[in-house]
Amino acid sequence: MVIGVMLVALMLSTTAVQFFQAPSLNANAFNVRTTYRQYAVDRGPIVVAGENVAWSEATGHELFQFQRVYAPGELYAHLTGYFSVAQSASTGIERAEGAVLGGTADSLLLSRVQDLFTGRQPQGGSVELTIDPAVQEAIATALGDQRGAAVAIDPRTGALLGMYSSPSYDPNLLAVHQRGEADTNYEALLGAEGRPLENRATGGIQYAPGSTFKVIMSAAWLEADPERHARSEVPTLAQFPLPGSDSVIRNPAGQACGVSDTGELIYAFRNSCNTTFAEMAIELGYENVHAMTEALGFSSDLTVPLPVQNSAYPPVDGDAELAMTGIGQLNVRTSVLQNALVAAAVANDGVLMRPYLVATERDADLSVIREASPSELSQPFSEQTAETLTEMMVSVVNEGTGQPAQLAGVQIAAKTGTAESGTDAPQHAWMIAFAPAEDPQVAVALVLEHGGALGTDAYGGSAAGPLVRDIIRAAVQ
């Protein structure tokens, strides 16, 4: 009887420790076994177009059995992120898909049970991304050493074809086993010029959208009256005094917008007339413009599964501020991904698909455990409005400010933007686009922070246009 009681007590004690106390014990900062366990797991690869861009290699060390490797590291750094046991930190897909890569996801339970009975070394699952390596390389080449970011997306599905933030960094610097070396490298990157650890594509740094916001303004204006179209008459003043203010809004280079005080919407859009869209914002009112930004995802959860910072169209104080938002200035801020979604909604006949980065999750035996299924995020405007916006964006490339983006044999639709930074630094140069205009396969947004290499001489068309053209060329080949 005594032995029986002892066995029951042992069973209860062991169950309490191994089951009920397990979560708190595993999370305990002093439990070095948790750290060692992570080193002992053959973490699964991150895959792009059938090629590993992150994987684990055996080290032969008793404790640190596997070393995480990233190649080509900088090209995919802001997508893969890094996995650093030395710092107990992870970012990017390494963090968002950590359970799958580390083999602890619920979907991998069967694999873990099989490993238990076969004695096989535990392995993590693999994560396949939607990225097209040709598009990713084209973005990285286009940006070069310039600060900025670009996103390319398939407007029909929401699959991300390319996402790159410049400057980038080498994740291998943070995946080292030595804590001191990892900390030194992290501090160096944290203090590096250009903030390479920030993902500018997903909103780690956001920008005023400038004249690219005129796509949103035009969508709201067209939706307000189904009788409106590309050749509807709109104000095209040379300058517009802000109500209740001594300030005046002028057009690019201070030039007049047309030969009279009114003109066609397509003309004002093609030539990026600031006065037109400043007046349009006041005519529409804050609520109508705000509603269109919300429909396009400004406040939506856009996790891809990388976290995406919400874009902002904040409340305004009076018509003067409202007019400034009509040209994408004041406190309007957007991520590059969000601006790519604006172009994608136009390209997809007014239907905005939810963006995603992970195509497939597999177990260690390469069996599919989850596959992405495209889904609709919203329908911000009608197919008729999308057709009108497409017509106007085509005219921007063929006759207007976006002519530097022209590509032989491919009709590109685009909108340029030159956004004041709110500081003494040069303006930001933007372009959002999609192609081919008649059968869109890719939508792109690109920003050059403070004009990139051109600095104060940078404009959306001249600076960003040729780069977007090269990205689209890679996507449609």
Which residues are marked as active site? 211
The torsion region of residue 209 among left (phi > 0), alpha (psi -120 to 50) and beta comes to alpha
Compute the distance between CA of residue 309 and CA of residue 444 in angstroms, rounded to an integer. 18
Size of the chain, expressed as the number of residues it contains: 477
User: Where does 308-374 have alpha helices with state H?
Assistant: 319-325, 336-347
Helices (H) and strands (E) in the chain, counts: 17, 19
Nearest to 160 by CA among 341, 413, 368: 341
In whole angstroms, what is the distance from residue 208 CA to residue 420 CA? 7
Angle, alpha carbons 176-180-182 (nearest 5°)? 35
Q: Which residue carries 């686009």 as its tokens?
A: 433
Residues 6+ apart with CB under 8 A from 3: none
d(CA 157, CA 374): 5
CA separation for the pair 213, 115 (Å, rounded): 54
Angstrom distance (rounded) from CA 9 to CA 463: 75
DSSP letter at 162?
E
Give the C-alpha separation, 351 to 204, whole Å.
26
CA–CA distances in Å: residue 34 to residues 59, 71, 104, 414: 19, 27, 13, 51
Ranges of H-type helices in 191-335:
214-223, 265-270, 274-284, 286-295, 319-325
DSSP string, 384-400: HHHHHHHHHHHHHHHHS
Rounded Cα gap, residues 386 and 388, in angstroms = 5
Q: Is the peptide bond between 72 and the residue preceding it cis, with omega within 30 degrees of 0?
A: yes
